[in-house]
Copies of this chain bind each other. A is one copy, B any other.
Amino acid sequence: MIIRDSMKVSGQGLYDISEKIQSIVRGSNIKEGLCTVFLPHTSASLLIQENADPSAQNDLEQWLNRLVPENDALYTHTSEGPDDMPSHIKSTLTAATLSIPIENNKLPLGIWQGIFLWEHRHNACNRNIILHLQSDISAI
């Protein structure tokens, strides 16, 4: 089953999409199977990380911003703005797709795990998400 969704974003940052995904899984009535979250973009990415303390997310963003700064003299791909090439690099270091088991009609995320869409651009306003949900044969 393919489900297309989208979400509003406003500037760089980690957007928690855990409940959005869990809700779609619940609605599917799939008891056991596999959920794949796919992001059809190259300057935003997916991440499973600590969702409890905002300071962890903040440090993660600051750390990656320092590793991949804007206005690096190395960049030649600069026509789409100073945040464009860093966005591609940041996406490269994280993920465009995540597959997570479905158990008891939900994703068995760890107690501190959230699923995040990581927006790397300053001015993006909408991002698409493509979900694939598959039920185990014996669990239909």
Interface, chain A (partner B; CB < 8 A): 1-2, 32-34, 36, 38-42, 47-50, 53, 55-56, 58-60, 62-64, 66, 68, 72, 74-77, 85, 88-89, 91-103, 108-113, 128, 130-132, 134-138, 140
Task: Tell me how far the C-beta of A98 lies from the nearest C-beta in chain B, rounded to whole angstroms.
Answer: 6
Asked if A77 contacts B53 (CB within 8 A), the reply is yes
* A58 closest partner in B (C-beta): B76
Count copies of this chain in the complex. Answer: 3
Between A and B, 15 residue pairs with Cβ closer than 8 Å are: A33-B132, A33-B134, A40-B109, A40-B110, A42-B50, A42-B110, A49-B92, A56-B77, A59-B74, A59-B85, A93-B93, A96-B113, A101-B132, A134-B137, A137-B137
Task: Tell me how far the C-beta of A42 lies from the nearest C-beta in chain B, rounded to whole angstroms.
Answer: 5
**Residue of A1, A36, A42, A113 with most chain B CB atoms under a 10 A cut-off:** A42
Query: Bound complex: CA of A104 vs CA of B111, how far in Å?
Result: 35
Query: Bound complex: CA of A130 vs CA of B34, how far in Å?
Result: 12
| Complex contacts, A135 vs chain B, CB 8 Å | 137
Task: Tell me how far the C-beta of A49 lies from the nearest C-beta in chain B, rounded to whole angstroms.
Answer: 5
